[in-house]
């Protein structure tokens, strides 16, 4: 096993720095959610089905827009993120919107015991989540511990193939190793492509987990795959003018896996 917390402790600092630089105006407002707004993509909502009354845990929820959207759709949603500053924004928005959505500041690898009590119907995560995980075997164990028997993981993320591609001098290049696994693909300071956080200087650690590994660790943790769909990328921030070319490769995926 890698020294997980060496990476996640630093990423907490980095994400708090990004949150500090971002402006509230960048996030959907409390009134947007109070009026029934949702930022979830149609294909994600379709994969989830009817979530009314379901207990849903959102891992790596950032400032909570997706979590609040699940709340609007009727789920009993709880969001978790390692960055206390982002969780503060998320809880503030929930309170102002009058939505009973709960937020917890915690490392996925140090999830409070009550969130690992096997009673969630759905664990949701994605939107750029997997690249921040230094160890996915342990992550899969935690997902399984959070789910009730018969509960589902709904993962919608950038495809790890797309995460390896980049634009350099106007050309599409292979920027990192798809098979890097425990070896961080980025260990960077002074650079950030996160909107509103471009001036961030803290080092961030990112990882590349082949899609086959993601499925294998989930199977080992006692989940079986019900759905795996690949989609072209919509990430103009990554591919810019080469987006049409990049869209010939898988750019995103939705995976649904159920606990036995």
Task: Kindly list the residues in this chain that would bind ligand SAM in the complex (CB under 6 A).
Answer: 8, 11, 15, 60-62, 65-66, 81-83, 86, 107-109, 126-129, 132
Q: Count the Cβ atoms, other than its own, within 10 Å of residue 207.
A: 23
Q: Of the two residues 103 and 248, which places its CB atom closer to ligand SAM in the complex?
A: 103
Comparing C-alpha atoms, which of 217, 12, 208, 205 is closest to residue 107? 12
Q: Which residue is nearest to ligand SAM (CB)?
A: 127
Report phi then psi at 81, rounded to 5. Answer: -150, 150
Q: Count the Cβ atoms, other than its own, within 10 Å of residue 179.
A: 13
We find the least distance from the C-beta atom of residue 59 to ligand SAM, in angstroms, to be 7
Strand partners, 172: 167
Nearest-angstrom CA–CA distance, 176 and 208: 8
Q: Of the two residues 142 and 221, which places its CB atom closer to ligand SAM in the complex?
A: 142
Q: Of the two residues 26 and 46, which places its CB atom closer to ligand SAM in the complex?
A: 26
We find the least distance from the C-beta atom of residue 184 to ligand SAM, in angstroms, to be 13
We find the least distance from the C-beta atom of residue 236 to ligand SAM, in angstroms, to be 16
We find the least distance from the C-beta atom of residue 31 to ligand SAM, in angstroms, to be 19
- CA distances (Å), origin 162, targets 83, 157, 235: 25, 10, 9
Q: Of the two residues 11 and 76, which places its CB atom closer to ligand SAM in the complex?
A: 11
């Amino acid at each position: 096993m890698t020294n997980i917390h060496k990476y996640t402790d630093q990423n907490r600092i980095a994400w708090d720095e990004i949150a500090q630089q971002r402006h509230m105006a960048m996030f959907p407002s409390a009134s947007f959610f109070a009026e029934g707004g949702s930022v979830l993509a149609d294909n994600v909502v379709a994969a989830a089905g009817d979530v009314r009354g379901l207990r849903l845990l959102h891992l790596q929820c950032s400032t909570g827009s997706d979590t609040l959207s699940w709340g609007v759709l009727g789920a009993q949603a709880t969001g978790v993120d390692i960055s206390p500053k982002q969780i503060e924004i998320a809880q503030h928005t929930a309170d102002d919107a009058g939505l009973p959505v709960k937020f917890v500041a915690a490392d996925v690898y140090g999830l409070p015991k009550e969130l690992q009590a096997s009673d969630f119907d759905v664990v949701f995560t994605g939107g750029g989540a997997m690249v921040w995980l230094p160890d996915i075997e342990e992550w899969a164990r935690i997902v399984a511990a959070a789910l009730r028997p018969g509960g589902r993981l709904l993962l919608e993320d950038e495809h790890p193939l797309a995460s390896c591609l980049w634009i350099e001098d106007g050309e599409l290049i292979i920027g990192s190793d798809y098979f890097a696994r425990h070896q961080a693909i980025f260990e960077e300071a002074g650079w950030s492509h996160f909107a509103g956080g471009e001036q961030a200087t803290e080092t961030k650690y990112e990882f590349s987990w082949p899609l086959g590994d993601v499925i294998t660790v989930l199977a080992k943790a006692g989940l079986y795959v019900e759905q795996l769909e690949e989609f072209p990328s919509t990430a103009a921030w990554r591919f810019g003018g080469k987006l049409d070319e990049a869209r010939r490769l898988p750019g995103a995926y939705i995976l649904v896996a159920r606990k036995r």
